[in-house]
A and B are shown apart, each in its own frame.
Chain A
Amino acid sequence: MLLKLKYDSRSVRAPVISKVAIEENALINIIEAKVEPRYGEIVVEVDDEIAERVAEKFKKYGVEVRKLTKSIEKTEKCVDCGACISVCPTGVFERGEDDRIVVNEVKCIRCGFCVGVCPLKALRLPE
């Protein structure tokens, strides 16, 4: 499961991820990170079974946690061109039986790259 961590000016100075990883004995995979002196936003991936526990621990250290359960969404603006197929790092998009472009949501790691590629602006990442 993907978790979005929001750090404030205090928590951003502490080695929170390391602490949580050690204390919960959890493997934490950083997917995306934006860290500034007074603020930070990090998306991490953890195993589904331990997600709840890990999220609680982050909260304890003053980090706001939101579960990212939603993946890439393709809207009705799509014209099934396929421009997105080759740019997605995990192969979320595929040409289906009837030549429509199908989305394998489960593979999406929310990197956001495809959003800026689709000529029809048909892709979005729900918050």
Chain B
Amino acid sequence: MKTVEEINEKIREGNVNVVTALEMKDIVAELGAKEAAKEVDVVTTGTFGAMCSSGAFFNFGHSDPPIKMQKVWLNDVEAYTGIAAVDAYLGVTQLSETLGMEYGGAHVIEDLVRGKEVELRATAYGTDCYPRKEIVTEISLEDVNQAVMVNPRNAYQRYRAATNSSDRVLRTYMGTLLPNFGNVTYAGVGELSPLNNDPEYRTIGVGTRIFLGGAKGYVIGEGTQHAPPFGTLMVKGNLKEMKPEYLRAATFPGYGVTLFVGIGIPIPILDENMAKATAITDDQIETVIIDFGVPRRDRPIVRKVTYAELKSGKVEINGEEVRVSPLSSYYMSKKIAEELKKMIERGEFFLTMPVERIPQKEVFKPMRQKEIKVVKSVMSSPPITISPEASIEEAAKILIENEIDHLPVVNEKGELIGIVTSWDIARAVARGKVGKVEDIMTRKVITTTMEEPIEIAARKMEQHNISALPVVDKDNRVVGVVSSEDLSKLLAR
């Protein structure tokens, strides 16, 4: 049994024994947990990955005449200033109003940490004490009073890996997912990740001193969405002391801006159990691969998987070998663990015990919604359909009589085999074409189902640039039609 005070004493004396989490696996394998606990005082961990739930508080100081900022932008990226006159919180995922996904809150933070100046623009309504209504100026990190990084959710213990069963390329926060299970992506660094090395959260809790973005920071509580073993941390640190190498702005194409954050946490080896905990290896860390091809909250689980399998670069899905991309940097994570080790060895970094522990049990609840609106409630039913044998003329007549633009083509069993639109007909007529519906129909039809949420049906139409979808049942029989007009009545825009 050792205390953190005793370990700190060793750090002061310069005879502390610090190893990285990777080195610890070998030490425990060789000596056993009991001996390892005697030998090793501190195990350092590290992680470096995209952490969207990050940002910083700024206090800009007062202008003359003073302003009570009502809206504020840094390089055209809006920060939240509903907190006093010249305080604001800039979130990393906020997009530039002029550059969109090219530049966001994360880029502002990286630019500031690199020593660059950014444009500050603010507007206000004006009061007796704060008469000024707008201001435009340039600021750097040196100019602001405080720049405190406060990240509501960082350092995920483990995360669900992603794949894509659909037939399109998906651009997600889990990176680019190729169609038909073309690849798998995963985040986190498994056995090197801080929380995996202290899964009971004995030494990581409120007040734990950590390495954050190249500086010293602190854990201020469990993170949002904390749900062990998918634990998370809320952390803070002084942005002014951080290094750009460990805070890197990034854009996940088609998804948005995020910040790669470097975090390292030292784990005091208080006893045999802590030694055992830090000996955890990737093959003991499980997660699941989920299917982003299904755009719902509860995405189907494709299979269970360990971090060892993910790290190997290939996993099997439905009997096929699929290539895997990590999204977190092992290289940088290792570097952080090494860097933290050196800081402790040099006597620059002392350990703390948490002043409060974070929950070991917690569930991540879904959002309470009034109702999920589904296609069934807005579709036109029964559907007006046509047979492939019908003439083009007949189709034109039905479209006009019913004042509709889309006509699903069904066989004698009512199964969907194509669609004709008023545009198809107009084109056929313009070309002087006579014949059957099947000669001009589109055979590859994008469809929806009765239970599909209307947002998803709307996104399908948007993506395929179409204005209606046939609604089919599980036997591919047409049960209705839903048009973008039907949906726009319900979708608040």
Contacts and interface: CB of A to CB of B under 8 A. Distances in A.
Contacts of B385: none
User: DSSP majority for the A interface?
Assistant: loop
B55 interface: no
Nearest to B245: A79
B48 A84 contact: no
A38 to B, nearest CB: 25
Interface string A61-104: 00000000000000000011111111100010001001111000
Most B C-beta atoms less than 10 A away, residue of A87, A116, A117, A119: A119
B331 A83 contact: no
A121 interface: yes
Interface string B36-50: 000000000000111
A5 to B, nearest CB: 27
Given A79-B48, A95-B313, A87 B176 contact: yes
Interface residues of B, number: 30
A82 B251 contact: no
Contact of B253 (A79, A95, A116): A116
B481 to A, nearest CB: 35
A27 B62 CA distance: 72
Interface residues of A, number: 20
Contacts of B328: 81
A42 interface: no
Contacts of A85: 313, 323-326
B330 interface: yes
Interface stretch (B177-185, B286-294, B376-384): B177-185
B332 A80 contact: yes
B334 A83 contact: no
Interface in B327-377: 327-332, 334
B197 interface: no
Contacts of B250: 79, 119-120
Given A119-B175, A119-B251, A86 B327 contact: no
Given A80-B332, A82-B327, A119-B50, 15 more contacts: A80-B330, A81-B49, A81-B260, A81-B328, A83-B175, A85-B323, A85-B325, A86-B324, A86-B325, A98-B331, A117-B176, A119-B327, A120-B248, A120-B250, A120-B260
Ranked nearest first, the 6 interchain pairs of A and B with the lowest CB-CB distance are A86-B183, A119-B250, A86-B325, A80-B331, A86-B323, A99-B330
13 contacts: A79-B48, A79-B260, A79-B329, A83-B326, A86-B184, A87-B176, A87-B178, A91-B323, A99-B331, A100-B331, A117-B176, A117-B253, A119-B260
